[in-house]
Structure 1
Amino acid sequence: MTPRPDHGEHSYRGSGKLAGKAALITGADSGIGRAVAIAYAREGADVLISYLDEHEDAEETRRWVEEAGRRAVVVPGDVAEPAHCRALVARAVEEFGRLDVLVNNAAFQMSHETIEEIPDEEWDRTLAINLSAFFHLVKAAVPHLKPGASIIGSSSVNSDNPKPQLLPYDVTKAGIANMTAALAQLLGPKGIRANSVAPGPIWTPLIPSTMPEDEVASFGAQTPLGRAGQPAELAPVYVLLASDDGSFVSGARVAVTGGTPIL
């Protein structure tokens, strides 16, 4: 990608906010997921890096986590499969002996000008990856989560300002926002917090690989700040929501949109 996304490789400085914790991050091979993995490791957490099949990218994320002195477990596979979601949780608990933070970040999108262009299979797959996986991961994780644990979903500004060309994606991101709000109420009595992050336009590999070239060229220019964000600019929010600094933050959706409001 030109320019290369900034995941905080050379800028993020940790201060022990997640010392002794273990995190599972889906879609952690690149983009927001890699930035969160780097930040979590530098804050003291061990990280399970879940990804589909981008092996070189996942190994790069592993390298940064291990350079921070933390354990990295790299697990490929398709989160559209409920059994794989359950296996990810089981692997994290097996490797780390605990699970403190679950970040549902893996996402799929494709751009279409009309609803007729959207294949039925693509609709089903988008919902399976972006939304159903979240349900299966949380269901598997809850028995292992202790008071103080954190569940974080990656929503989007599209949940409130849906882009018509991204209809299936829009729907899933609204669902994530709704699910985390419900989970916060459902799991609050167990001392488990649930929140979501709503990014605006963020410069990740998902953008040039799924959007028309003319839209990529002007990506992010419509924000009040006049540019796209970098993955590294989201990582501190994910750290806050995972750490004790956010101990009374639950049921929230944090906008990182460059000034574009969410409802």
Structure 2
Amino acid sequence: MKVLVTGYGGQLGYDVVQECEQRGLNVKGCSRKELDITKKESVFSLVDSYKPDVIIHCAAYTAVDKAEDDKENCWNVNVEGTRSLVEAAKKHHSKFIYISTDYVFNGKGESPFSEGDQPDPIGYYGLTKYEGEKVVQSFIENYFIIRISWVFGVNGNNFIKTMLRLSETRNELNIVGDQIGSPTYTVDLARLIVELVKSDKYGIYHATNEGFTSWADFAEEIFKQTDSKTLVKSIASEDYPIRAARPKNSRLAKQKLVENGFQSLPSWQDALARYLVQLNKRDEVQ
């Protein structure tokens, strides 16, 4: 099986490539330097030469706040870039995996959003990711749309790394406590994505580590597991003004995974513990 992975320079793309290599798959990872997905000719040239059986599309414009003012670039990456990749995948009859997000939902209520719930994004980033979903669904049938949330991996910046850095100089941190979701480890996600790829159980999936928490409680668990004395003060979203609104309810139901026989990911607390070990090992090597 030949696999092409976009977004190799990011957290998830990096771990997807590592997982494919560990399983002996013929994999090619492309970062932004190797492939500008907004250039259709470049996309077709690469796909035509590599002829992948599977395209795992992890590349995305993810600067949520910047997207509100940089709409053209965000649209070109998340929608037009996806369109070019899907067209190329259709030409070569490649399976297509599109990584989407909890931001396609409006974040209202307290019940987890199911795979069949109607998206209703409240920000421009979420809108473009939903438009990307629709592009995938309109072009091909052999697709997987995988909605994820609160991702952390060793290759890139994330909430955990930010908390660890701030805790070195701060005794107390104000962290939003009214946004609820599931922290998700890219190593666990990568394993699941490869399992999905090996199947023909196409459709929309929600994939996160098990359990729900707030950003504030997530920070407290980070400090607990690292024996940090930094205190966390939970604040409301309204007390932390930012350019783009965030969904307060990012809970995702994962019934489709269960129904199709895929193994649930470990708890987010377990994932955090393993991630901290991975971070320490990387620091020791460096």
**What TM-score do you get using the length of structure 2 for normalisation?**
0.57
CA 1:177 to 1:257, structure 2 compared with 1: closer, same or farther past 3 Å? farther
Residues 204-247 of structure 1 show CA distances to partners (whole Å, capped at 9, x for unaligned) of 53547xx9x99x9859995465xx3221121122112210xx22
Is 1:202 matched up with 2:151? Answer: yes
The equivalent residue for 1:58 is none
> Identity rate of aligned residues, in percent?
19
CA 1:111 to 1:178, structure 2 compared with 1: closer, same or farther past 3 Å? closer
The equivalent residue for 1:108 is 61
Structure 2 counterpart of 1:45, one-letter code: L
The equivalent residue for 2:264 is none
SS of structure 1 residue aligned to 2:123: helix
Structure 2: tracts of 5 or more residues without a match: 109-119, 167-172, 212-250, 255-286
What is the aligned counterpart of 2:103 among 133, 155, 158? 158
CA 1:254 to 1:150, structure 2 compared with 1: closer, same or farther past 3 Å? farther
Mapped to 1, the partners of 2:177 and 2:42 lie a distance apart of 34
Retained in 1: the 8 A contact 2:68–2:125? no
Tell me the matched-pair count: 193
The equivalent residue for 1:261 is 252
Mapped to 1, the partners of 2:176 and 2:96 lie a distance apart of 29
Deviates more, 1:149-158 or 1:41-50: 41-50
Retained in 1: the 8 A contact 2:20–2:27? yes
Mapped to 2, the partners of 1:45 and 1:133 lie a distance apart of 25
Is 1:131 matched up with 2:79? Answer: yes
CA 1:50 to 1:224, structure 2 compared with 1: closer, same or farther past 3 Å? closer
Structure 1 counterpart of 2:123, one-letter code: L
Is 1:86 matched up with 2:41? Answer: no
Mapped to 2, the partners of 1:242 and 1:162 lie a distance apart of 29
Residues 43-84 of structure 1 show CA distances to partners (whole Å, capped at 9, x for unaligned) of 22111211113xxxxxxxxxxxxxxxxxxxxxx132122122
CA RMSD after TM alignment = 3.6
Q: In the TM superposition, what is the alpha-carbon distance from 1:178 to its structure 2 partner?
A: 2.9
Structure 1: tracts of 5 or more residues without a match: 1-20, 54-75, 94-98, 188-192
CA 1:77 to 1:177, structure 2 compared with 1: closer, same or farther past 3 Å? closer
